Amino acid sequence: MEELDVNERYRLLVEAVTDYAIYMIDTDGRVASWNAGARRFKGYDDQEIIGRPFSDFYTPEDQAVGLPAHALQKARTQGRFESEGWRVRKDGTRFWAHVIIDPVLHPVTGNLLGYAKITRDLTERKQREDALRRSEQSFRLLVQGVTDYAIFMLDEQGIVSNWNAGAERIKGYLPEEIVGRHFSIFYTEEDREGGLPARALDIARSAGSFVTEGWRVAKGGKRFWAAVVIDPIRDDGGTIIGFAKITRDMTASKEAERALAAASEALYQSQKLESLGQLTGGVAHDFNNLLTAVIGSLQLLRKQVTDDRQQRLIDNALEGATRGVTLTQRMLSFARKQEIQPRPVELLEAVSGMRPLLDRSLGPEIQLDIAIPDGLLPAFVDLNQLELAILNLVVNARDAMPAGGTITIRAEERTVPAEGPDGLAAGDYLYLSVIDTGAGMATDTLAKAVEPFFTTKGVGKGTGLGLSMVLGTAEQHGGRLQLESSPGQGTAAHLWLPASEPRAGHPEAAAAAPEATARTLKILAVDDDGLVLMNTVALLEDLGHQVIEAQSGKEALAIFDASVDLVITDHAMPGMTGAELVGELINRRPALPIILATGYAQLPAGLPATVKRLAKPFWQNELDQAIAAAMSRDREPAR
């Protein structure tokens, strides 16, 4: 191999490098040499570029600010210039270059001989870095643009390190208010005391993720129901360097879920109440039949007994049966099968009559005061419904005073002008109030108090129907229910009840009862209950009538003939109801007087005027008056 001197070797070495542009610049900034690498990525041949200023490689923007001269001056004064930036090829395209310029000095004198410039094309790296930067920026903008989720980072200790728009919206903190603070600030005091924030990070470390739902706290102390995910963030070596936390506000979903559960519970309570009502109605109906037999038999027996002691025993039995009648009426009222029959009612007499029942319901811890003046106008209401409403209000008041207190029932007369409260019609009213000294109700509770199934009592301690039933009773009578309450001030329930005119006891207050019929009638008595049928026959025969018995509608039709003056029939019978029997009999004899004896309020519409209703259980005088009304020429339509 031919021996080369050192200078030639260096020249060949530089010329062989193709990944770097290595060339000399003279003291005036002109290109003095050119290697293969420079030719490759700058595009100039030697004869095209040697002697031209190296500033040709700079962009017009850099030339305008004097960057080429600045680079040489810095290399000359500081011994080195290094930078990255855009440079220009021969064809005008740009590439990203890493540039180093070193001054070349005379080895003896130290005078500046020129500059050595090394340039490397880093366009591909630049493109990758730019793409990565754009990707990171897009991801950052994406995360920042999410408003339905709080997405933020925690360091290893749980300190918040960044904050997106969703976190700001959901949790209420601005970035400058929360970055640098511990994420436990979002937890409730109970959860913090229980160590939940630290436990969440521990689970995320060990299990790879922590997922839960629970109450969290926004700025200002407002709580919201959150779905939370915490994932650990690891570096290339697998070391945890922080956590990613995603939180979603699920309060609306939680409220919807709670509303659905409440609706399901309300449906369950409604179905349970409906079943209980059906059972109660059925029991009350059967009990009515038994009481009809008991009362009728006792009445007939009393007529035949002359011994005073025996008469007192019979009177006691009749008193017990009378209480049974009141009980069945209340049961039927609960089951909505009791007919509403408004009449003049003296409030003082009605409430005083309930005193023993109310005292037993309240217990020794609660004092009951009745402050109803004598001489008030009577209220025009159904007595049974009024008693049930008062009992509901008193029991509600009792439950609001677990430690005891006072319940006051008072009443006064009030006149409503043309524009009354809550749409009350103008007229005279009785203003009946039940007032307690209990805990009272907050505004939101008071607003819902009369809603069906709303209750503040525990599960199984109330149906939430008491006040709604009272409201329905008041409005059914043309009145209103008003509630007044505030926390710590007790509750007052006010019933507006229409007054009755004229006063009870006035000759016009009650229609004259029809006189008992004096002649003997041939009566067809129909009832599927043998005890009731036997009792009805006995009462009718005691009144002097001739009676034919039938235990079903079909049997009655079979034995009916033109000699029958009157038919008395039960309604609830198997096979053929009393109403269906009435239809068949009216087809045979349109003007036939008929009495429908039943304890139910719901009867088919459109019954003929010849049909009178007799409520079970009935006394002998009520049976006699019903017969007289049915046989009267001036008959009114059945109710």
Q: pLDDT tens digits, residue range 263-317?
A: 777 666 656 656 655 665 556 666 666 777 787 788 788 888 778 888 788 878 8
The parts of the chain modelled with pLDDT lower than 70 are 1-11, 13, 135-136, 138-145, 266-289, 325-340, 419-422, 446-466, 468-469, 501-518, 600-605, 609, 633-639
Does one domain contain both 94 and 207?
A: no
State the CATH number of the domain containing residue 548: 3.40.50.2300
Q: Is residue 129 part of a domain?
A: no
Q: Is residue 424 part of a domain?
A: yes
In which region does residue 603 sit, left (phi positive, over 0), alpha (psi from -120 to 50) or beta (all else)?
A: beta
Q: Is residue 134 part of a domain?
A: no
Is the CA virtual torsion 378, 381, 383, 387 positive or negative? negative
How many angstroms separate the Cα of 36 from the Cα of each of 4, 19, 46, 400?
Answer: 20, 9, 9, 99
Closest CA to 299 of 600, 615, 623, 619: 619
How many angstroms separate the Cα of 10 from the Cα of each of 20, 42, 141, 354, 614?
Answer: 15, 22, 52, 124, 132
CB 543 within 8 A of CB 620: yes
Q: Is residue 371 part of a domain?
A: yes
- What's 340's DSSP letter? P
Q: Is residue 326 part of a domain?
A: no
Question: What amino acid occupies position 257?
Answer: E
> Nearest 5°: phi and psi at 594?
-140, 140
The span from the CA of 101 to the CA of 305, in Å, is 140
pLDDT at 279: 60
The span from the CA of 300 to the CA of 318, in Å, is 11
Local structure of 313: helix, strand or coil: helix
Q: Is residue 453 part of a domain?
A: yes
Helix, strand, coil percentages in the chain from 3-state DSSP, rounded to 5: 45, 25, 35
- What's 576's DSSP letter? S
> Is there a cis peptide before residue 502, judged by omega within 30 degrees of 0?
yes
pTM (two decimals): 0.42
Sheet containing strand 594-598, strands side by side: 546-550, 522-526, 566-570, 594-598, 611-615
pLDDT at 502: 46
CB 604 within 8 A of CB 579: yes
CB 600 within 8 A of CB 285: yes
The span from the CA of 381 to the CA of 612, in Å, is 22
The span from the CA of 186 to the CA of 191, in Å, is 10
State the CATH number of the domain containing residue 215: 3.30.450.20
Does one domain contain both 563 and 532?
A: yes
Does one domain contain both 206 and 270?
A: no
> Nearest 5°: phi and psi at 334?
-60, -40
Does one domain contain both 373 and 289?
A: no
> Nearest 5°: phi and psi at 450?
-95, 5
- What's 18's DSSP letter? -
pLDDT at 421: 61
The residue segments making up the domain with residue 438 are: 347-498
Q: Is residue 400 part of a domain?
A: yes
Sheet containing strand 491-498, strands side by side: 366-371, 405-416, 427-436, 491-498, 480-485
Q: Which residues contact 461 (CB under 8 A, 6 or more apart)?
A: 399, 455
> Nearest 5°: phi and psi at 317?
-65, -40
Pairing of strands 20-25, 112-121: antiparallel
Does one domain contain both 406 and 546?
A: no
How many angstroms separate the Cα of 351 from the Cα of each of 54, 412, 420, 493, 612?
Answer: 114, 14, 26, 15, 32
Provide the b/e sequence for 426-463 (b: ≥16 CB within 10 Å).
eeebbbbbbbbbbbbbeeeebeebbebbbbeeeeeebb
Does one domain contain both 485 and 358?
A: yes
Say how far residue 580 (Cα) sits from the centre of its chain: 46
CB 372 within 8 A of CB 348: yes
pLDDT at 347: 92
Residues in the chain: 639
Does one domain contain both 181 and 227?
A: yes
Does one domain contain both 351 and 489?
A: yes
Cα torsion 459, 464, 465, 466 to 10°: value is 100
The span from the CA of 342 to the CA of 329, in Å, is 14
DSSP codes joined into one string, 373-401: -TTPPPEEE-HHHHHHHHHHHHHHHHHT-
Domain count, the chain: 5
Q: In the listed set 71, 87, 122, which residue is the last one of a domain according to the structure? A: 122
Pairing of strands 480-485, 491-498: antiparallel
Does one domain contain both 266 and 154?
A: no
Beta bridge partners of 428: 415
pLDDT at 559: 94
The span from the CA of 486 to the CA of 503, in Å, is 37
Does one domain contain both 491 and 574?
A: no
Does one domain contain both 195 and 227?
A: yes
pLDDT at 87: 94
Q: Is residue 336 part of a domain?
A: no
165, with CB counted inside 10 A (0-12, 13-18, 19+), is middle
Closest CA to 522 of 541, 503, 539: 541
232, with CB counted inside 10 A (0-12, 13-18, 19+), is buried
Largest CA-CA distance found in the chain, in angstroms, rounded: 163
Does one domain contain both 492 and 367?
A: yes
